[in-house]
Structure 1
Amino acid sequence: MYLGKWEEKALQGEFGEALQLSMNVLVKVCRALKAEKLVEISHAHVSGVSYFNIGDEGIEFLEDLVKKGAKTSIYTTANPASIAFLDKFRDSYSAEIIVKQRKIIDILISIGIDRKSFTCIPYKLKTPVLGEHLAWAESSAVIYANSILGAKTNREGGVTALMAAIAGRTCFSGMHLDENRCPTETIVIDFPIRSIAEASAIGLYIGNVVRGIPYIKMKMYIDEKLKNVVLRSFLASLASTSSCPLVLIEGVSPEAQKYVDKHSSLEKISIDFKDVQTFFDSMCSPVLYLGCPHIDIDELELILRNSIEVLKILKIEKLYVSVPMYEQEKILKYIGSLEGIEIVYL
């Protein structure tokens, strides 16, 4: 494996213990992945923020990093924390858990993570450009960055993303290589997508059948203002039922254009409405959850304005909504209910 002069010095500890540890972890991961080198990145996104994810051992690890002098070297964001951190849920958790959750957040901020982040939509804070190398550890953000923005990131683990944030580098493998971003199969959705609910159900369904990098042909009969939310829901659902980091959507993905005349030679999978409808019906309940990944207030307002009749048809009684921390103050005007549907904000 090739290392530059600075990387060699960092690995040998010339720039401090924390950077040495980060380089040591990254080099070992690179060797396991047979990566030939590291690649510089501009943005890292860390997962494993909830106390229920990392526990006491995770806190000890973070505290050790601080003792070693850990600081991020690039712009870094983080995933949401546990709801135990929110005032409205404090009575549901012990004071000990709340204190530990606060400690995790405080440590991450002290290391250099943007205090306004703690969201699963980091691209809303700083939007990557085509070809930009990232180290993101959040499946919905990864597939969005690769598929919609044309940026390059693998599905990092929480620890490797944090190590990458400190070192400013990650392994030059997987989605960072152009040859790994080619479609391996064609998926044709035989009916138009008309709602966020349909897009989510289709994404979940495709995640169960996809085996590689799919080239997807689909039509959306959606209000233009809602298309981005629909795409985000579709991709997040697909990523939750598969390990797929990238899909090439015809007419949407920046890199899809290269394969318009080539995808026909690939194995074709057709998605029928009846299959998705059966799958969708099996999941129906009177409770609907929006905001995974997070939605902002403008998107929420648009969804509620355009979907109230659909919510009534689906007999939704309660609506849970997750919004980013930086949008919390704007949420007050939406507290309460919407035409008989209770709204709970997380």
Structure 2
Amino acid sequence: MHLSRIEEKMLSGEYGEVVEKAIRVVVKVGEALGAERLVEISHAHVSGISYFNIGDEGLELLEDLSNKGAKVGVYTTANPYSFAGLALYKDKELVEKQVRIIGSLLKIGVDPNSFTCTPYKLRKPLTGEHLAWAESSAVIYANSVLGARTNREGGLVALMSALIGRTYYAGMHSMENRKASEVIVALFDVDSILVASLLGLYIGGVSHSIPYVRARYSAENELLLDIMLRSMLASIATTSDLPMAVLESVTPQHTYIIEKGETISVDIRELENMNIKCYSDTLLLGCPHITLHELEALLRDRHLDLLQKYGISKVIVTVPKYDEKHYDVISKLIQKARERYSIEVQILPGACAVVSNLKLLGFTTIATPHGKALHYLQNLAGVKPCTIHV
């Protein structure tokens, strides 16, 4: 691999032990994938920060890096932590270890206002911008909706890229690899988060390369449309290893190449196999995270009335971290849902349900319209998921 003069100095240890190890990891991964050089990035996003996922070994690695003075070289955000980060578990040792993971990341230089799976809501990348992101739902959104360029990195590789401000130039960073060759045609209106999610799970299951998706989206406003799009894309990334999907009339032009390939038409009935019909009085929203403005749109009277008819008595919402200026908005939402509809709304900033052990918190079933949560809740969180039409 060809390295610049600065990169050679990094590799020789002139910038310290941590930087030397970091660039060695990135170079080795790049060489394995055929990269001939590195490329500077403007934003890194680290995943795998839940104690339930990385355990003592991951905690030890992060603390070792932070104790050796590791510092990020570019703007860096991190994925949500488990519910232990909000002290929702009685196990004090579990809570303490999750807090130590968060503390190590902050010491390294991760944005303290991040801890979200939607880093593009904090800082929107430009079209063509090179990133090193590790969260699959964020990666596919960045490539497909924003036209940015990032591979689907592992959490460790993204962290190493953050430390050196570079990643390997291969995969989605090169236009020649951004080719859509399978056309997916939805023969129905995508009119809800659930339908978008089920379509995404289906597409991920049948696609062997970057798909070109032709669909009609029906949403009340742009906020709800964006929730639908990122739920669909997150679902595609859940049932596949795809880093990108070309969405007709959405994906920026000149950020992909079209190749002739197979056309697959999808009837709404083909999504029934993924429709998990069961009952839960608890609803999960925010997988991927939704913003407080989006939550306002989802908790309007018409939607709350529908949730009441579904028998929902509790809504868990995972959102990015927020500051005090939003407290009034949140309190009014919670009060309205409780007093008018007897629905308790619990807002959990910076946290993620699917990387938390929900069984330990007493849950057995949870309803959700999000495909990613439907796929992971049972295996990772220990509860049975149910679909709900939202």
TM-score band by shorter chain is over 0.9
Q: Which moved more, 1:234-243 or 1:249-258?
A: 249-258
Measured in 2, the distance between the counterparts of 1:178 and 1:228 equals 25
Question: What secondary structure, in the 3-state scheme, does the structure 2 residue paired with 1:102 have?
Answer: helix
Runs of 5+ consecutive residues of structure 2 not aligned to the other structure: 349-390
Alignment of 1:171-320 (within 5 A): 171-225=168-222, 226-255=224-253, 265-282=260-277, 285-305=280-300, 307-312=303-308, 314-320=310-316
1:345 equivalenced with 2:347 (yes/no): yes
Q: Does the 8 A contact of 1:297 with 1:327 survive in 2? A: no
Counterpart CA distance in 2 for 1:134 and 1:115 is 19
Per the normalisation by structure 1, the TM-score is 0.92
CA deviations 1:38-65 (Å, max 9, x no partner) are 1110000001111112111112211221
Q: What percentage of aligned pairs have identical amino acids?
A: 51
Question: Does the Cα contact within 8 Å between 1:40 and 1:133 map onto a contact in 2?
Answer: yes
Paired residue type of 1:279: M
Q: TM-score, normalised by structure 2?
A: 0.82
Aligned 1:65-104 pairs, distance under 5 A: 65-87=65-87, 89=88, 92-104=89-101
Report how far residue 270 of structure 1 moved.
Answer: 0.9
Name the residue aligned to 1:47: 47
SS in structure 2 at match of 1:335? helix
Larger mean Cα displacement after TM superposition, 277-286 or 47-56:
277-286
Q: Deviations over 1:9-34 (max 9, x none)?
A: 10010111110010111111111112
Distance across 2 between alignment mates of 1:139 and 1:310: 31
The one-letter amino acid paired with 2:188 is: F
How much does 1:279 deviate? 2.5
Name the residue aligned to 2:332: 333
One-letter code aligned to 1:27: V
107, 118, 142: which one aligns with 2:139: 142
The residue correspondences of 1:117-132 to structure 2 (distance < 5 A) are 117-132=114-129
Change (3 A) 1:31 1:278: closer
Partners of 1:26 and 1:297 in 2: CA distance? 36
Indicate the residue corresponding to 1:165 in structure 2: 162
Distance change in 2, residues 1:291/1:315 (3 Å) = same
Superposition RMSD in Å: 2.0
* 1:197 Cα deviation after fit: 1.6
Give the 3 Å change call, closer, same or farther, for CA 283–21 of structure 1 in structure 2: farther
Partner of 1:153: 150
Change (3 A) 1:281 1:48: closer
Q: 1:95 & 1:257 partners in 2: Cα distance?
A: 48
Name the SS for the 2:150 alignment partner.
Answer: coil
Q: Which moved more, 1:21-30 or 1:59-68?
A: 59-68
| Pairing 1:112–2:109 present | yes
Superposed displacement of residue 155, structure 1: 0.8
Letter in 2 for 1:93: K
Deviations 1:179-211 (A, max 9, x none): 111102000000011111211121122221121
Indicate the residue corresponding to 2:360 in structure 1: none
Q: Which 10-residue stretch deviates more, 9-18 or 49-58?
A: 49-58
Q: SS at the partner of 2:179?
A: coil
- Count of residue pairs the alignment pairs up: 340
Asked if structure 2 preserves the Cα contact closer than 8 Å seen for 1:321 and 1:343, the reply is yes
Structure 1: 5+ residue runs without aligned partners?
Answer: none
Moved more, 166-175 or 306-315: 306-315
Query: Does the 8 A contact of 1:248 with 1:255 survive in 2?
Result: no
- Give 3-state SS (helix, strand or coil) of 2:180's partner: coil
CA 1:322–1:283 in structure 2 vs 1: closer, same or farther (change >3 Å)?
same
Distance 1:80 1:283, change over 3 A: same
Q: Distance in 2 between matches of 1:154 and 1:296?
A: 25
The secondary structure found in structure 2 opposite 1:107 is: helix
Secondary structure at 1:57's aligned position in 2?
helix
Tell me: CA distance 1:7–1:239, structure 2 relative to 1, closer, same or farther (3 Å): same
How far apart in 1 are the matches of 2:201 and 2:331?
32
What amino acid maps onto 1:275 in structure 2? E
The answer as to whether partners of 2:179 and 2:256 remain within 8 angstroms in 1 is: no
Q: CA deviation at 1:285?
A: 4.7
**Change beyond 3 A, Cα 1:279–1:231:** same
What SS class does the counterpart of residue 21 from structure 2 fall into?
A: helix
Deviates more, 1:161-170 or 1:192-201: 192-201
Following TM superposition, by how much is the alpha carbon of 1:333 offset from its aligned partner in structure 2, in angstroms? 3.0
Assess, with a 3 A threshold, how the Cα gap between structure 1 residues 215 and 310 changes in structure 2: closer, same or farther: farther
SS in 2 for 1:218: strand
Letter in 1 for 2:307: L
Whole-angstrom CA distance in 2 between matches of 1:138 and 1:268:
29
Answer whether contact 2:175 2:255 (CA < 8 A) is retained. Answer: no
